Amino acid sequence: MKSVKDYIISIPDFPSKGIIFRDVTSVLESPEGYALAIDELNKLLDGVDYDLIAGTESRGFIFGAPLAYMNKKGFIPVRKKGKLPRETVEMSYDLEYGSATIEIHKDAIKPGDKVVLVDDLIATGGTIQAAAKLVEELGGEVDLHGELVAVGEGDHAELELRGDQQRHDHRGGAERDRQPPVAEGPRQHAAVDA
């Protein structure tokens, strides 16, 4: 049986020299690969108490929206600066090859809402950390997130499906309890960052 990593293509020196780009469009192009990714990410949500799924632009939309639909939850887009029409909160952060600013509608998350964050890959972790801070700024709680993630370096990198659990203290900081990588099978008490 194939795993999600079998569908992901690594592109060296893109978008700049020294970067290995993990192309998940190859997952999306395959009906079997896409279904497998969504199904495996959905397994991470088994037993998780949450109200909303938030996905980061743009591949977090592709993985997060189907999960929200399957679980009858609302979907919150976390967009690049200047793309949302209503009043927003924003956060700037560093990328592996630059910097960026993301936004969420100010009225999208209510105090006490439990939010699962979804992204495709984690490089520096800056995007998902910035999204978590935005959720917290609006009074929401980010207890869990997961993603299709690169583990390792260079040509020997393994791509795994992973869920991370986060606990947030009253000061808004995050303390991560790393869950071991999961490639196949159900996962309890973890969530998704596709």
Angstrom CA distances, 28 to 7, 139, 141, 176, 187, stand at 9, 33, 30, 29, 23
Active-site option among 90, 96, 137, 184: 96
Active-site option among 22, 40, 59, 136: 59
The answer, yes or no, to whether the previous bond of 66 is cis (omega within 30 of 0) is no
Are 93 and 100 in contact, with CB atoms under 8 Å apart? Answer: yes
Half-sphere exposure at residue 127, Cβ-oriented, CA atoms within 13 angstroms:
29
59 as an active site residue: the answer is yes
187 as an active site residue: the answer is no
- Which residues does residue 142 pair with via DSSP β-bridges, in sequence order? 115
Give me the count of residues in the chain: 194
Rounded CA-CA distance 120/56 in Å is: 8
Radius of gyration for the chain, computed over Cα atoms and rounded to the nearest angstrom = 16
Active-site residue set: 59, 96
